Amino acid sequence: MVLAYAHNFRDDDEDYFTQPGDLFRIIKADGKEMMLFNNTGAQMGGAEKFIQIRHIRNCYKADTAYGKGVAKALGLTMDEVNSFDMTPYDRWTPRPTNG
Q: Is the pTM of this model over 0.85?
A: no
| Chain segment 44-85, per-residue pLDDT in tens | 999 999 999 999 999 999 999 999 999 999 999 999 999 999
C-alpha to C-alpha distance for 73 and 24, rounded to whole angstroms: 16
- Residue 85 burial (CB < 10 Å; 0-12/13-18/19+)? exposed
How far is Cα 81 from Cα 14, in angstroms, rounded to an integer?
A: 23
Question: Does the pLDDT at position 7 exceed 70?
Answer: no
CA 51 to chain centroid: 10
Cβ-in-10-Å burial (0-12, 13-18, 19+) of 90 comes to: exposed
The domain limits of the chain are 16-84
